[in-house]
C-alpha cells in the first residue's frame, strides 16, 4: 500500500500552482491570444469578445507578475503599450495548447457535461 502523503495536494505542489495560475477566468485565453502575436490592449479586447477593459488589465497585470507576459511601452505620442509572452509564457503555451487539443477532441462529451451541469443548476434552484 502506498503512502497517503504522496496524494496530498500541498500548497506549493505543481497541481495547485497550475490551478492558481489558470483559475482566473480569462488567463488561458489571454495567453492563447498572445501566443499568436503581440497585442495592444484594445486589439486584445477585439479578439476576446466579452472581456471588460478592467478584467483584461487585471489579467495582464497578474500574468506580468507571474512572469508569463511582458509589457513594452513605445516612447511615441500618444504612448503605445504592447503585450507579449515572455520566454516562460511561450513555454507555458505548449502544454496549454495540448489541453485545447484535448478539449477539441472531446468537444461532444464536453457539450454533454455542460448540458448536465446546467440541468443540475436548474434543478437545484427549484
Question: What is the CATH number for 25?
Answer: 1.10.10.10
Number of independent structural domains in the chain:
1
pLDDT mean over 8-18: 80
Question: For the segment 53-102, what is each residue's pLDDT rounded down to a tens digit?
Answer: 999 999 999 999 999 999 999 999 998 999 999 999 999 999 999 999 99
Question: For the segment 101-115, what is each residue's pLDDT rounded down to a tens digit?
Answer: 999 999 999 999 888
State the Cα–Cα distance between residues 26 and 56, nearest whole angstrom. 8
| 112 grid coordinates | 454533454
Is the overall model pTM greater than 0.85, yes or no?
A: no
What is the band of 37 on the pLDDT scale with cuts at 50, 70, 90?
A: very high
State the Cα–Cα distance between residues 120 and 81, nearest whole angstrom. 44
The domain in which residue 97 lies consists of 4-125
Instruction: Give the CB-side neighbour count of residue 32, counting CA atoms within 13 A.
Output: 14
Amino acid at each position: 500500500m502506498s503512502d497517503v502523503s504522496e496524494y496530498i495536494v500541498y500548497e506549493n505542489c505543481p497541481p495547485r500552482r497550475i490551478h492558481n495560475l489558470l483559475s482566473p477566468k480569462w488567463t488561458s485565453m489571454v495567453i492563447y491570444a498572445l501566443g499568436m502575436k503581440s497585442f495592444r490592449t484594445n486589439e486584445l479586447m477585439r479578439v476576446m469578445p466579452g472581456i471588460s477593459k478592467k478584467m483584461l488589465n487585471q489579467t495582464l497585470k497578474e500574468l506580468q507578475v507571474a512572469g508569463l507576459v511582458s509589457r513594452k511601452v513605445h516612447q511615441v505620442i500618444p504612448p503605445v503599450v504592447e503585450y507579449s509572452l515572455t520566454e516562460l509564457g511561450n513555454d507555458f503555451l505548449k502544454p496549454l495548447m495540448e489541453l485545447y487539443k484535448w478539449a477539441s477532441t472531446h468537444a461532444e462529451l464536453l457539450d454533454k457535461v455542460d448540458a448536465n451541469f446546467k440541468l443540475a443548476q436548474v434543478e437545484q434552484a427549484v
